[in-house]
Amino acid sequence: MNFLRIIFILILINNFLFSQEINLTLEEKDFLKKNSPIRLHNELNWPPYNFNENGQPKGFSIDYMNLLAKKLNIDIVYITGPSWDEFMNMLQEDKLDAIINISKNEQRAKTIAFTSIFHTAANAIYVKRGNEYLDSLEKLEGKTLVMPKGFFAQKAIAKYYPKIKQILVKDTLECLKVLSLGNADATIGKKNVIDYVITLNNISGVVPTNYVDDNRMVSLIRIGTSKDKTILRDIFEKAQKNVTDEEILALKRKWFGVKDILNSKPSNFLNINEIKYINSKKIFRMCNIPDLKPIEFFENSKFQGITIDILKSITDKTNMRFIPVKTNSWEEAKSFLKEGKCDFIPTVTKSEDLIDFATVTKPFLSYKLAIITQKNKPVATSLEDILDKSIAKRKDSKIIQVLRSSYPDLKVIETNTNRESLEAVSKGNAYFALEPLPIASYYISNYALKNLYISRYTNMPFTVHMAVAKDNKLLLSILNKSINNISQTERREIFSKWTASSLNYKAITDYEYFWEIVSTLLFLILIFSYRHYVLDKLNKNLTSANEEIEKKTKELEKQKLLFETLYTKSADGVILIRDGIISSCNEATLKILKFDESEIINNTLENLAPAIQPDSQSSKTIIKKYMDEALNDGVVSFELVLTDASQSDIWAEIVFTSIEIESKLFLHTVIRDITSRKNLEQKLEDLNSNLEKRVIEEIKKNEINTQRLVQQSRLAQMGEMISMIAHQWRQPLSAISATTNNLILKMIISDEVDKKYFDNELKLITEYSQHLSSTIDDFRNFFKTDKEKVCFKLNQVINKSLYLINTALDSNGIKLEKHLDETIEIYSYPSELQQVILNILKNAEDALNENTNIKDKQITVITYKKDNSKAIIEIIDNAGGISNEVKEKIFDPYFSTKTKKDGTGLGLYMSKIIINEHCNGRLFVSNANDGANFQIELPLYKKV
C-alpha cells in the first residue's frame, strides 16, 4: 500500500503544478467581458492546421485555440470563408479579433502584435511528376511557382528569390490543381498540409522533391492580433504559458504523429548553431569497439554497455540518432575515423593514438586501475612490490608498454581479451592482473571468478572518452555539453547496471588504514556521546510527535481510499500481475472482458486470449516476450487480441509497467479496448486496396491514350514525309528523264549508237533507280516501331534524319551545319529518337520559311558529352526565337502555332513523351542568339 500512497501524492503534486489559474488583470477581464465572443479566423483549406469540413472548423490550430479558450473560460467564434488577404484586412478593420496561425515578418510586424511561437513548420517543394530534378530554390530560378496569395512562403520567395516567377491563387487546393494541369512548374508549402490536401482530393501526378533549404522560410507559427488590441495578445500569451508539454504533445500526436513531436524536442543547453547542425545531419555514424565488456561490446546482434547507455541518454536530450559502424579492432576504428567513414568513436581509452587527427571529449568514465589477485594471496602494499610476479594483460594494452619501459624484466602473459586475463589469474597461470573496476566487476560477477578480489588500487588512471575528427568542433562541443548534462543520478544508474557485483574486498592491514580506522572510531565515540545527550532532549518531544504522526496517518488513509477509488473507477482496465499470475483488477477490466472477478484473479493473461493471434503467433509467446521486456526496460506497450466471457474477440492495447510494491516486482497492466479502432483500420485498408486497383486501371487507360496519340502523331507526319519523298525524288527523276531523252536524240540523229556510250547512260539510269529504291527503304524504316532498346551510334541516327530532310532544306534555301561527336553511343529506341529529331528539324524549317525577313537561313545540329554521363543534342535555328507565352505551352498536347498549315499540336508533345518517358532523358527549349535552341539530354551507354 506504500506504493499507492506515493502514487496518490504524485498525482496531487502534478495537479497542483499544472492546473494553476491564469492571473488576468482587471483590465484584461473587462476586455474579455466586453468583446465576447472573441472572433477567430478559420481557413477553408489549410489542413491539417486550419480548415473547414462539413461546416465544422478543424485542425491543429483550431484545437490549440479551443484549449486556450477553455483555460481562459471565454467564448470564441470562428469566421469561415474569406481568403488570406481578406482576413488580413478584416483584422485591421476590427472585423476579426485574431489570426490563429501566422508567421512574423517585418511588414506584418508594423500592424500586427504577435504572441510567442507555439509551432514550427518546414516548407517542401512539389512538382508535376517528371520534373523531379527541380529540387531546390536555385533550380526554380526562371521557372514558375503557383502560390497562395499573401502566405508567408509566397512573400518570402518574392523577397529573397525575385528570379522565380509566381502565379498567385486563393489556397493550397487551387495551387495543386494548377500544378497538376502543367500550368506551373512547382509549388511550395507545408509538407503535411499539401500531403493532406493531395490525399483528400485524389490529386495525382504531383510529387515532393525536397525540403526548402533556407532557414528564412521556416514558419514560426504564432497568434496575431491587431496592434490596437495588444491586450488580447497579452491574454493569449498568458494562456500559452499555461499549456503543458503533455497537452501540446497530445495535439501534435493527433494531427502530425509522434515523429513530428520527437523531432521538435528542444535541447536548452545547446546553442542555435549546434541545434541546426543536429537537425541538418540527423544521423551520426559511430565506430564501435566490439569487445570491451562492459564498457562497449557486441552481443545478441546489438551493441551494449555503459557507452551505449550514455549515448541513449544523449539521444533523449538532443534528438541525435546514432548508427553503428562495426569495426573489428581498435586500429580499424582509428582508420575509419581518419578516413571519414564514421563521425566519432564513442569509446576511447588510448587518446594518445589519435592526437594527430582527432580530439577527445571530457571523460565520461574515470577510475584507477585495480590490482586483482586470488583471495588466498597476501594484500599488495603497492604495485612495485609485486612487479617481480607474473601479470596477465590484454596484448594490445598500452599498460604493457608503460610497465616494460620501467621494468624490462617484467613477466607478462599476453591474452586476447580482458576475460582471459582474469581467468589466467583465477587459474594460477598469472599472479595478478591490472583492470579498472567496471571490467573487473563485470567479469568476476558474470563468469564465476569468485576466488578473485581487489587487492589494492594503483595511482594509474583509466579514463574513457569519445573522439571526433579535429575539424569537427561543433560535434565535439555538442558531445561535451551532453556529457556535462547527464546527472550524477543517471550516471550512477547506468554504472550500477553494468558494474554491480559480488566483489569481495579483503581487509588491508597496513598502518595507513590503521590510523584512518582509529580516527574514525574516535569520531564515532564523540558522535555517540552527543547522540545520548540529544536523545534525552528529544524524548520530551516524542509524545507530541507521535500524536502528529497519528494525525498524518489518518490523512494518508483518506488519500489511500481516494486513490483506490480512482483505480477502481478508471475507464481503462487495470490489473496487477505478479510472477505471471493476476493478483488484482479494477471494475473496467470486468466490464471489458465480461468475466466475474473470481474468474480473473489467480488466472493468467494468456488464458484470457486465444491460443493463436491473427498474425499466427502464439499468445503465450507474445505475452512472455513483452513481460520480459517490461521487467528489463520498465515500460512496454503492444496490441493483443483477448477473448471475453462470450468467446468474442476483443482487440486491446496493453501497457506493461514494471513497479515495485513492498519490495516485490509487479507488472502494472493497462488494458484499453481498441476493437472499434481496429475495425475502422480494416475498412481503411480495404478502401486503400480498392484505390490501388483504380489507379492501375487509370494507368492502363493512360497507356492506351498515349499509344493513340503516338499513332495520331505518326499519321500527322505522313503528309510531311510524302512532301519530303517528292523533294528526294525530284532530282533523280529529272536525271532519268534527261538521260532517256539523250539516248532517244542520239538514236534519231545517228543510226548507230556507240555501245560504250549506251552502256554508260543505262548505268546512270540504274544508279538513279537504286537511289529511289534506297529512299523508299529509308522512309519505310522511319515508320517502323522499335520493340526493344538497342545500343547505337548517335551520329548515325542523326545523319539518317538529316538525309531525309536535306533535300527539302536545300530547296528552301536553308543551310544545314552539323558538328557531331562520332564516339557517342546510347542505349535506347533509334526510330523513336529519329522521329523526335526529324520533328524538331521540320518545325525549324517551317519557322524559317514563315519568317521572310531572314536572308541567311540556317539550322545547326551539335552533339557532345556532358559530365561523362549524358549525351546532349542541340538543334539551333535563326528563325527569331519563341515568345515566352508560346514557350510555356509549346509541349502541351494539341497546342500549335501552325493554324494556316493545319498543325495538329501533337509533334512536340509526343517528342517530350518519347524523350522523357521512353528514353529516360529530358527535352527542353530555350532562346539562343537569333533563334530557338531545342536540347535533348540522354543517358550515355555504359559498357558492362
- 3 state SS for 816-838: EEEECCCCCEEEECHHHHHHHHH
Residue ending a domain, among 503, 532, 566, is 566
- Is residue 907 in a domain? yes
Burial pattern 705-715, b for ≥16 Cβ within 10 A else e, equals eeeebbeebbe
Residue ending a domain, among 566, 593, 628, is 566
- pLDDT score recorded for residue 264: 36
Backbone φ, ψ for residue 301 (5° rounding):
65, 25
- Is residue 467 in a domain? no
Residues 6+ apart with CB under 8 A from 862: 818, 819, 820, 872, 873, 874, 876
Beta bridge partners of 344: 286, 468
Same domain for 251 and 157, yes or no, is no
- 3-class state of residue 639 by DSSP: strand
- Report whether 453 contacts 501 (CB < 8 A): no
Per the structure, the complete domain to which residue 138 belongs is given by: 123-217
Q: How far is the C-alpha of 609 from the C-alpha of 618, rounded, in Å? A: 10
| Percent over 90 (pLDDT), the chain | 32
Q: Which parts of 750-813 fold into alpha helices (H)?
A: 755-782, 794-811
Which of these ranges, 111-120, 265-274, 615-624, has the smallest mean pLDDT?
A: 265-274
C-alpha cell at 778: 529509308
- Is residue 496 in a domain? no
| Percent over 70 (pLDDT), the chain | 82
Q: What is the DSSP letter of 131?
A: -
Q: What is the mean pLDDT of residues 6-10?
A: 44
- Report whether 430 contacts 391 (CB < 8 A): yes
- Report whether 604 contacts 624 (CB < 8 A): no
Same domain for 769 and 627, yes or no, is yes
Which of these ranges, 471-485, 652-666, 894-908, has the smallest mean pLDDT?
A: 894-908
What pLDDT, in 10s, does the model give residues 657-703? 988 877 788 888 999 999 888 888 888 887 877 787 777 877 777 76
- Is residue 929 in a domain? yes
* 115 — pLDDT class (breaks 50, 70, 90): very high
* 6 — pLDDT class (breaks 50, 70, 90): very low
Burial class (CB in 10 A: 0-12, 13-18, 19+), 91: buried
Same domain for 60 and 37, yes or no, is yes
Identify which has the larger pLDDT, 104 or 231.
231
Q: What is the mean pLDDT of residues 789-813?
A: 85
What pLDDT, in 10s, does the model give residues 810-828? 888 899 999 999 999 999 8
Residue ending a domain, among 746, 766, 783, is 783
- Is residue 408 in a domain? no
Q: What is the separation of C-alpha 926 from the centre of its chain, rounded to a whole number of angstroms?
A: 36
* 739 — pLDDT class (breaks 50, 70, 90): low
Residue 364's CB is within 10 A of a number of other CB atoms, namely 25
What is the model's pTM?
0.32
- Is residue 148 in a domain? yes
Same domain for 49 and 158, yes or no, is no
Q: How far is the C-alpha of 132 from the C-alpha of 193, rounded, in Å? A: 20
- pLDDT score recorded for residue 366: 83
| CA distance from start to end of the chain | 75
Q: How far is the C-alpha of 155 from the C-alpha of 150, rounded, in Å? A: 6
Bridging pattern class, strands 112-114 and 452-469: unpaired
Same domain for 185 and 250, yes or no, is no
Q: What is the DSSP letter of 95?
A: S
- pLDDT score recorded for residue 211: 81
The candidate with the shortest Cα–Cα distance to 730, out of 637, 811, 796, 842, is 811
Same domain for 49 and 193, yes or no, is no
- pLDDT score recorded for residue 713: 60
Same domain for 697 and 610, yes or no, is yes
Q: What is the DSSP letter of 540?
A: H
Burial pattern 289-327, b for ≥16 Cβ within 10 A else e, equals bbbbbbbbbbeeeebbbbbbbbbebbeebbbbebebbeb
- Amino acid of residue 418: N
- pLDDT score recorded for residue 41: 95
What pLDDT, in 10s, does the model give residues 537-558? 666 666 566 667 767 766 767 6
Same domain for 745 and 620, yes or no, is yes
Q: What is the CATH number of the domain that holds 864?
A: 3.30.565.10
Which of these ranges, 257-266, 330-339, 674-683, 722-731, has the smallest mean pLDDT?
A: 257-266
Same domain for 90 and 179, yes or no, is no
Same domain for 767 and 792, yes or no, is no
C-alpha cell at 193: 498540409
- 3-class state of residue 534 by DSSP: helix
Q: What is the CATH number of the domain that holds 701?
A: 3.30.450.20
Q: How far is the C-alpha of 733 from the C-alpha of 769, rounded, in Å? A: 8
Indicate if the alpha-carbon torsion angle 166, 169, 175, 178 is positive or negative: negative
Q: What is the mean pLDDT of residues 282-309?
A: 88
Indicate if the alpha-carbon torsion angle 591, 597, 598, 604 is positive or negative: positive
Which of these ranges, 206-220, 530-544, 589-603, has the smallest mean pLDDT?
A: 530-544
Residues 6+ apart with CB under 8 A from 99: 40, 41, 87, 88, 91, 112, 223, 224, 225
- Is residue 684 in a domain? yes
Q: What is the mean pLDDT of residues 43-55?
A: 87
What pLDDT, in 10s, does the model give residues 558-580? 666 666 666 666 778 888 898 88
The candidate with the shortest Cα–Cα distance to 807, out of 772, 833, 756, is 772
C-alpha cell at 227: 496592434
Establish whether the linkage from the previous residue to 37 is cis, with ω within 30° of 0: yes
Residue 150's CB is within 10 A of a number of other CB atoms, namely 15
Residue 58's CB is within 10 A of a number of other CB atoms, namely 17
CB-side neighbour CA atoms (13 Å) of 235: 27
CA distances from 687 to 47, 85, 682, 684, 690 (A): 21, 38, 9, 5, 5
Same domain for 778 and 844, yes or no, is no
C-alpha cell at 299: 552481443
- Is residue 498 in a domain? no
Q: What is the CATH number of the domain that holds 191?
A: 3.40.190.10
Residue 336: pLDDT over 80: yes
Indicate if the alpha-carbon torsion angle 205, 209, 214, 220 is positive or negative: positive
- pLDDT score recorded for residue 259: 39
Residue 139: pLDDT over 50: yes
Same domain for 667 and 796, yes or no, is no
Q: What mean pLDDT value characterizes the chain?
A: 82
Q: What is the mean pLDDT of residues 69-77?
A: 95
Residue 384: pLDDT over 80: yes
The candidate with the shortest Cα–Cα distance to 464, out of 301, 582, 321, 305, is 305
- Report whether 225 contacts 113 (CB < 8 A): yes
Residue 731: pLDDT over 70: no
Which of these ranges, 359-368, 458-467, 770-779, has the smallest mean pLDDT?
A: 770-779
Q: How many domains does the chain have?
A: 5
